[in-house]
Amino acid sequence: MSVDRVPEVGDEVEYVPGFRAVVTDIRKGVPYLRRPGCTEWPAEDSGALKVTRTRAERIADGDFR
């Protein structure tokens, strides 16, 4: 987990305890998130997002789609 890192596009984040999503876009400073089977949505509290894996870590894990 990347502690105290500002989320970037492609990063996996925990947006509430136990729930993860991927940052798909950042519009006007607001990260947009997506989970499998869900539509994209703006993060309600971008300051509460915790980066669990960076885009580079996801690529290295073979989990980048």
Domain ranges of the chain: 11-61
CA dihedral 23, 65, 54, 40 (to 10 degrees): 10
| Average pLDDT over every residue of 27-43 | 95
Q: Is the pLDDT of residue 64 over 70?
A: no
**Which residues sit opposite 34 in a β-bridge?**
22
More confident residue, 14 or 65: 14
pLDDT reported for residue 40: 97
25's enclosing H/E stretch is strand 19-27
Which pTM value belongs to this model? 0.88
| Average pLDDT over every residue of 19-46 | 95
Rounded Cα gap, residues 61 and 24, in angstroms? 18
Q: Is the pLDDT of residue 2 over 70?
A: no
pLDDT confidence tier of residue 1, bands split at 50, 70 and 90: low
Place of tokens 């990063």: 11
**Other CB atoms within 10 A of residue 20 CB:** 14
